[in-house]
Amino acid sequence: MRRITVTALSALAAAVLAAGPAVAAPAPEAASHIPVIFVHGRNAGPGVWGDMTAYFEHHGYSQDRIFAWGYDSSQSTNEVLDGELASYVDEVLTKTGAQQVDLVAHSLGSLPTRWYVKFGGGQQKVAHWVSLAGPNHGTDLAWACAAWDQGCRDMTPGSYVVSHLNRDTETPGPVRYTTFWSACDEQITPAKSTPLSGATNVKTACLKHNDFLSNDEVILGVFATLTG
């Protein structure tokens, strides 16, 4: 399992971006970017990605290469969301003419995106998979809502979804896997649930769960991961 700090990844991003965050680097042709699909977490929506998508647009991504998938987070990861995400990815590929997409998921969104990659035919269609504060090995906090919410049940340690995702290999296929996690994450318990064997696992500064969506270093790190 490869570990790297946000500081080190920021240095990598600095090499990618000659200008600082306030000054856009020369924008490459839009078609040179793999379309990126952002996937929100539980009880959220596509609007949570405003800060990150704004950064991506400011640094060369055209709007027709940036997508955010909205879904009902109370639905089953493997029985419902996998098929919905697969259809959405295919729509994006048809619309853009691209061969692959990048997936960036926050929190619960890490589970349906991983399921799609591992079991839904996504290994050849996904170039990068990025998890921000994902319950990749489950989170004890999910027991609080598991009685009435399937999404919560899927996030519990040892659930059908979690156990199948981590069986045999946690990072299958040629997809490049990256996780970002914080020791201060109050929603993912234990916090080390997020890192995956075979992924580049980035330990951030002391961030709360939703801080990952707007933190400058995380945004820079995600951008560098997808474009470096």
Tokens encoding 124: 């050849």
pLDDT in tens, 119-131: 999 999 999 999 9
List residues bridging with 25 in a β-sheet: none
Burial class (CB in 10 A: 0-12, 13-18, 19+), 55: middle
pLDDT at 228: 84
**CA distance readout (Å), 30 to 33, 38, 64, 66:** 6, 18, 8, 10
By C-alpha distance, which of 79, 43, 161 is closest to 153? Answer: 161
Predicted pLDDT of residue 8: 52
Give the pLDDT score at 28.
39
Dihedrals phi, psi of 36, to nearest 5 degrees: -115, 135
pLDDT of residue 3: 53
Q: Residue 100: enclosing H or E segment and its boundaries?
A: none
Is residue 130 within a helix (H) or strand (E), and if so which, with residue range? strand 126-132
CB 157 within 8 A of CB 138: yes
What is d(CA 17, CA 148) in angstroms, rounded to the nearest whole number?
A: 46
Which stretches of the chain drop beneath a pLDDT of 50?
Answer: 1, 11-31
Which residue segments constitute the domains of the chain, with CATH numbers given? 2-17+33-227 (3.40.50.1820)
What secondary structure does DSSP assign to 157-226, as a single string? TT-HHHHHHTSS-SS-TT-EEEEEE-TT-SSSSSGGGS--TTSEEEE-SS--GGGGGT-HHHHHHHHHHH
Residues linked to residue 69 through DSSP beta bridges, in sequence order: 39
Strand order in the sheet with 66-69: 2-5, 200-203, 176-181, 126-132, 101-106, 36-39, 66-69
The residue ranges of DSSP E strands in 7-125, in sequence order, are 36-39, 66-69, 101-106
